[in-house]
Structures are given as C-alpha cells and as structure tokens.
Structure 1
Amino acid sequence: MNIAIAGSGALGCGFGYMLQKNGQNVTLLDYWEDHIEAIRNNGLTVSVNGVKGTLPMTIARPEEVSGEKDVIFVFTKAMGLEKMMTQINHLIGTKTKIVCLLNGLGHLETLEAFVDRRNIIMGTTVWTAGIIAPGETQLNGNGPVELQNSHPEEEEAARVIVNILKDSGLFGEYSKNVKYTTWRKACINGTMNALCALLDASIEQLFASPSIDSLLGGIIDEFAAVAKVQDDIEIDRDEMIHYLKEVASRLGSHYPSMHQDLFNRRPTEIDFLNGAVVEAAEKYGIEAPHCRRMTDLIHAKEAVLGIETGR
C-alpha cells in the first residue's frame, strides 16, 4: 500500500519503520529540518524493544509530495491536527483512508471537516516511543493498535489495515467499540500522563506515592461521568485504578509524553484531555473540579517554563 505518516515524530517514525520493513511503501511527512536531513542522509534508525535497525526511507515536507495516498496515519499532536489536515489535503483522494491514533478527545469531529466519515478510521495504541536524536527514535511495548471504522459500511477497509499492522509486528486488532478504548486511553493520559508531567516524575515514582489512589480517583470519576452522558461509555473507577497500576508496573521508569513535552519546552495536549472533560462537563451540567484544576496547573507550568501555547 501507498502509505503516508503525517507527523513523523517518535511514534510516527516507529510505525513508519515497521510498516516499511514489512514491504509497505511509506512516506514520512514532517517539518523538522534536522530530522529530515538526518533521515535523507543516513536513513531512519529505530530501536524496537531494544533491537536497533536502520532503513532508507522517504521523508519530505507535505507540500513536496504529490499523488493520492491509499492510507494516511496522522500522528501529530492533538492541537496540530487541523493544521496538518490542511497541509496534506492534496494527498487525500475519494478513497484515501485516514487513520487517527491521536491522544485525546474530539478528533473525529475535526477530521469530518476534511474527510467523509466513510474514510475515517479511529483507533488507539499503547505503544510508547521516544526521540533519541534527529533520525533516531525508539519504540517500546507490544501494542495493541485497536482500530474501528467510523462508518458502519467500512468494516472491511478497517480490517485490511488491521491486518497490515499485524503483519508488520504492530499488533493490530479490530475493535467493535473504539469509543470505549478512546475514553480509556484519554483517562490514562489525563491521570498518569498529566500527573507525571505536573510532578516531574517517572511513572514508577508517581505510583510509589501513598496518595496515588486518591490522586487518580477524583480525575477518573469525572472522565467516567462525562463519558457516560456523552457517549454512553462505562468507566469503572476501581477497574481503571487497577489497570493503571498494572500499566505502571510494566512501564516503570518511563516518562510519559506530556512530561517529555514540558521537558522539551513544547505545548501539552491537556486541552484535549482534562480540558475536554471540563468543556463537556459544563455543557452537560456536571462538576469537574479535579480536571479543571489539573488543566489550570499544567497551563500554569507551561507559562512558568515560557512555553508558547497560542492560548
């Protein structure tokens, strides 16, 4: 398949590398000049669960590429999705499938401004990734990548992409309820990710806190309340805390992406996580003080660090 990776940072490069290694025709799209130059000169180096490899890969700025793609994976930050869709619009044909694996909430509505719902495939993944240097990244975990078609008549198309991910070692799975996994992932990021960022802690350090259940519980309750009224999704507080602890035991010393954003002086995705819960809670007349405070504190930390957020 002719595949583009829109947003070729850590996770985008990891996916692009694995897909290319499996024989797909992959084009990486990005604007980071040092990264583009490094990959053009030396290939893309990715360490997958500690096993390092290098592949020659095509990388370009979106405007340098022409021709419609079969599939485009979007891996931008949540706040960059609308801009990226504008930049890649010329690569989208009537049958191009857009696969969205972004963190956060509300992305389907953004995508529908550019693409027919028939061509939108929503998903989640728990692969973790990091940038080592321009042209070199790491990919860790064992998935899965859960995908579901947004239009009921497009299941076959979604399953084709799931199988490509499986064959590429990315552990693709077809989901019959990707809204649930999206809310679950958002809740993970709105708790573990946001708290690690705020406290400047690794996952292991955060979960060593004697206050961890209390820290997690209030935020989870608010995600659960909004998920129920907005999408009829059930999130169980105790099960979620148990799951977060299980994830923490596996990821240990990892610093989540929001922590990496602050460390590297980049804007966070908090407005598409806890901030999105606050916005929806106001709409439905629900109180969300924990998510509001978390959103305010992360924005305060961005300001203290001198990070331009465009707010």
Structure 2
Amino acid sequence: MSGDKITVGTIGLGPVGAVVGACLAKAGAEIVATDLPHRISQLEKSGIQVYWDNELLQYAVRTADSIRAMADARPYCMIIATKASILKQIMPEVAEAAGDHCLVISTQNGIGTEDEIARYVPPENVCRMVVNFAGGIDAQGVVRVGWFNPPNCFGLIEEREEPRLTTIIDMLNSAGLTSELVSPFTIKKKAFLKTVLNASLLPLCAVMELTMKQAMQGKATRPLVEKLVREGLSVAERLEYDYGEDIFEQCMGYLDKGGDHHPSMTVDLQCKLPTEIDFINGKILEIGHSFGDLDLETHRFFVSLLMTAEVKNGTREPDDFPEYLLNP
C-alpha cells in the first residue's frame, strides 16, 4: 500500500456501513458518505460514531447529496451497505459514480447481490463481503456493535489478484476488524450459509410479529425453523457446499442464540418498506427450483406471504411475482 490517503465511498451508513467506514477511517482512509437526508444531517453534525468494546470510534466524513455526486471524490473503492432490496434502484447511479475502474464491494444480506452489481459495473471490479458482526443504531445515529465473530470474509467474482482489495482488508485488520480474502467459490458458499440462517427466522418473525427468541422457543414455530434450515441445506448440498456432517445442529445452535428483539424484516414490513425476501428465501427457492426435485414448500409458503404483504403495503406491484414462485 502506498502512503497516499485513499478515499472510500460508502453508500448507506447503517450499522454495517458505519462500522466498516469507521474502521477504514481509523486506518487512515477518507470516507465519503451518502444516505437518506436525515442520516446525512447526522453525519455532517457528528461524523461516524461507533461504540465497540467500550471504545468510541468517531471520525469526520465528507458527505455527498447523491450517489452520482460521489464521482467527484474519485473513490478508490465504493462500499454498498444498503438493503439489498434497493439494488436495482441505486445501481445505475453507482455505475456512473464508479466508472470502469473503481472497486465495488457489497456488504449486504442475501444471495447474489454481487451478481446483481456485476450487471452494471465490470465483473472484475466486484467484490462480496460476508459480514460476521452485528450492531444497532439509535435515533441519534450512534452505532453500537453487539457482537463480532471474526473473521469477516471478502471474495471477488473472478479468481485473480486484486491489490485494491488487499489494501482494504489490510486496513480493516489494522483497525481490529479482522478480515480475510477467500476464493470466489468460498465467498458464495459462506454467503449461502449465512442466508440459510437468515431465511430460517426473518420471514417467520416478520409474518407473525415474533422476536427471534419467541420463534425459537415456540412449540409450533420451532419446527418451522427446523424445516426452513433443512430445506436451505438441501439446496446447499446440490450446489456442492460442504459444511460438515453436523451443520444442521450448528445452525440450530446459532439460531438458539437469537435475541429477544425483532429482526430487520419485521421492521421493514411495519414501516411499509421493501423487504429483502427476493435475495433471502426467494433466492434459495429460485436456485432450488432449478433442480426440479427438492421439497421447498416451507420456503415457498413464506416467500408467498412476504411478497403478498409487500403488495398490500404498496412496495411491490401486484403482478411482480417471480416465475419460480408461480410455476412450481
């Protein structure tokens, strides 16, 4: 890495974007951020504020009033930390700001966010990050890291050397956000398993307005979680993702640690915002449907409910239902 200060464009300064941005700022990067107006106002007033292990990371940032305007900063890389549900909406502007040479990193939930990004920018410039920490953000824009299970993983779409990504990973490691580079196959494998975990609780909690703890302890809901896990793992097996013989038990053990709070998909429904169902259960169902002989009816049930709820909320067009759902 050269001694020149790099500029990192960050789109979305929720918990993930703020933590990654704060750690890169700690390592010496300049952060240029864009978000919704109220969040930009917070950032202009107080900068990024992240509490992690009783330490406050607070750094000034430059703000941009649109994604397109970030091009003026000539970013070294751009980090997309928005909800996956708005990727199609923002990617034309991201492509314009990134040009043909900027590295674009997806930190989002779900399967295939990097592939969606690669429809707009050169695939060799696209990277996926699988995030292994979680936190919350309060009304003042202060983020608190709840837990971190290192390392975070980064992977390119194409197998090749990418010095810019190596620089970003080295900077995060120097700031304490332990991260590593993995192969294109491995990053997809890790993203898939994380999505299986999310798919097993998020839609169920959202539809029934349960906390994660309530869903795991309910006599009628825990079997549904188990069924969703098994269905997701059956698709993973067809993709030749080997997680070990005890992966089902590992998944259930992880989910049993779910807190007594509502996950983000519940909040999205309550606030009448688009959910990430297309990239979570929807993607598992879509991929599994291509094999033709897998039982994925529990996924189909929850995808149907969530997409219908979005239609009711006005965040999905009444005829916007994918073929894999309508033609089992």
What interval of TM-score do these two structures reach, taking the shorter chain for normalisation?
0.7 to 0.9
Cα drift, residue 185 of structure 1: 0.8
Residue number in structure 2 paired with 1:20: 25
Distance across 1 between alignment mates of 2:43 and 2:162: 35
Find 2:260's aligned residue among 250, 253, 264. 253
Question: Quick one: distance in 2 between partners of 1:181 and 1:222?
Answer: 17
2:110, 2:191 within 8 Å by CA — same for their partners in 1? yes
Post-superposition Cα deviations, 1:59-113, rounded to whole Å, max 9, x if no partner, equal: 2222333143111111121121233221122332443211112111222321222
Which stretches in structure 1 are left out of the alignment for 5+ residues? none
Residue in 2 aligned with 1:34?
Answer: 38
TM-score (norm 1): 0.87
CA contact (8 A) 1:34 1:134 kept: no
Percent identity, please. 22
Alignment partners' CA distance in 1, 2:204 and 2:26: 36
In structure 2, relative to structure 1, the CA distance for the partners of 1:86 and 1:12 (3 Å cut) is same
Q: Does 1:6 align with 2:11?
A: yes
Distance (whole Å) between structure 2 residues aligned to residue 276 and residue 150 of structure 1: 18
**Alpha carbon RMSD of aligned pairs, Å?**
2.5
Q: 1:241 to 1:122 in 2, by over 3 A?
A: same
- CA pair 202-16 structure 1, distance change in 2 beyond 3 A: same
**Is it true that 1:219 corresponds to 2:228 in the alignment?**
yes
Counterpart amino acid of 1:297? L
The Cα of 1:214 is off from its aligned counterpart by: 2.2
Structure-2-length-normalised TM-score: 0.83
Which whole-Å CA distance do the structure 1 matches of 2:245 and 2:87 have between them?
30
Q: Secondary structure at the match of 1:154?
A: coil
Kindly state the Cα deviation for residue 191 of structure 1 after the two structures are TM-superposed. Answer: 0.5
Measure how far apart 1:237 and its partner are: 8.2
In 2, are the aligned partners of 1:36 and 1:135 still within 8 Å (CA)? no
Distance 1:127 1:46, change over 3 A: same
Between the aligned partners of 1:4 and 1:255, the Cα distance in structure 2 is 30
Q: Say whether 1:199 aligns with 2:204.
A: no
- Cα distance change of structure 1 residues 149 and 135 upon mapping to structure 2, 3 Å threshold: same
Query: 1:51 and 1:262, CA in 2 relative to 1: closer, same or farther beyond 3 A?
Result: farther
**Gap runs ≥5 in structure 2:** 1-5, 321-328
Report the counterpart of residue 111 of structure 1 in structure 2.
117
Work out whether 1:289 is the aligned partner of 2:297. Answer: yes
Q: Tell me what 2:241 maps to.
A: 233
The question of 1:86 aligning with 2:103 is answered: no
The aligned length equals 307
Deviation at 1:148, TM superposition (A): 1.4
SS in 2 for 1:88: helix
Match in the other structure for 2:52: 48
**CA shift for structure 1 position 26:** 1.0
Per the alignment, residue 83 of structure 2 pairs with: 77
Report the alpha carbon displacement of residue 155 of structure 1 after superposing the two structures with TM: 5.3
> What is the letter of the counterpart of residue 45 of structure 2?
N
